[in-house]
Amino acid sequence: MQTVNQARTLVKFGVQKTNYVSGQGVTTDYEIIKVKIGEDEDGKDIETSCFYVEWLNAYGSVAIQQQAEGVLRPARVRMKYVKAVYDALIGDKPVIVYLRGIVDDAHAFILASAADNYLNENQMIEFAVKKREVR
């Protein structure tokens, strides 16, 4: 039975959002996924965009082979199942994973595999990521 063993790495997820403005055309940015985690005493939603995951970098010959093929900084990510995150990962819009929650190009990763809802149990998501190359 596979589980999330050490969810110590903070990440954020950004989903591509394209907006069209009359007279200006299209603008594209990445909207950070937020989920409700509770309510305060006034009944207002408390939301978070921070998710702790098990981030396992590839190393050794596997990493060297992948990097030779242009897959930079490959890693396997496991996290607790979060519906909003899973839906975004399997959706048709590009998703960026921001390592340590830092929203910049140096910490931006993209999916290197489809996200898997492990055993369809809605308990754990597993996916592979690679560095998002900015040209």
21 or 46: CB nearest other proteins:
21
Check residue 61 for interaction with other proteins (CB under 8 A). no
Residue 113 phi/psi, 5° resolution? -150, 165
Q: Does 93 bind other proteins (CB under 8 A)?
A: yes
Question: Read out DSSP for 75-132?
Answer: EEEEEE--HHHHHHHTSSS-EEEEETT--SGGGEEEESS--EEGGGSSSEEEEEEEE-
Structure tokens at 74: 């490959």
Segment near other proteins (CB under 8 A); pick from 12-20, 66-74, 82-90, 112-120: 12-20
Counting contacts by CB under 8 A, is residue 84 touching other proteins? no
Contact flag: residue 20 with other proteins (CB under 8 A): yes
Residues facing 127 on adjacent strands = 77
28 binds other proteins (CB under 8 A): yes
Residue 40 interacting with other proteins (CB under 8 A):
no
Kindly list the residues in this chain that would bind other proteins in the complex (CB under 8 A). Answer: 17-26, 28, 93
